[in-house]
Amino acid sequence: DGASNGDAAVDSARVRHEERLEQIRHMAESIDLLYGAFLKHRLRTEWNKTRDTIRAWLRAGAGDKRAVTVPAAAPQETIGV
C-alpha cells in the first residue's frame, strides 16, 4: 500500500530532522559551557600568566625557538560539566 509507505518515509524524515535538531542543541549547549569555562579563566587576575603559558606551549609545539622557557602553570582546576 503506497500511502503507508509514503507516510513511513515522511515519519522517517521527520525523525531524522528531529534527531539532527537535538544534536545541534547539544552542540550549542557544549559550546556555551566551553565558553563559560574559558571566561572563568580569562577574567581572573592571573590571565596574563596563563596566556603566556599557553603561548609558550603553542610555540614549543610548533618548534618555535622563542619557547625556551615555559612559565610555571597555575594549578589545574577540574571543570564540572
pLDDT tens digits, 7-42: 888 899 999 999 999 999 999 999 999 999 999 999
Indicate whether 57 and 38 sit together in one domain.
Answer: no
Task: Clarify whether residues 52 and 81 are in a common domain.
Answer: yes
Angle at the Cα of 80 (from 75 to 81), degrees rounded to 5?
140
Rounded-to-integer distance, Cα 73 and Cα 52, Å: 9
| Domain match, 34 and 63 both | no
pLDDT in the model for residue 27: 98
Overall domain count for the chain = 2
- Same domain, residue pair 38 and 51: no
Domain match, 53 and 36 both? no
Residue range 34-77, pLDDT digits in tens: 999 999 999 999 999 999 999 999 998 877 666 455 556 555 55
CA distance 12 to 45: 52
Residues 8 and 39 placed together within one structural domain of the fold: yes
72 lies in which domain range?
Answer: 45-81
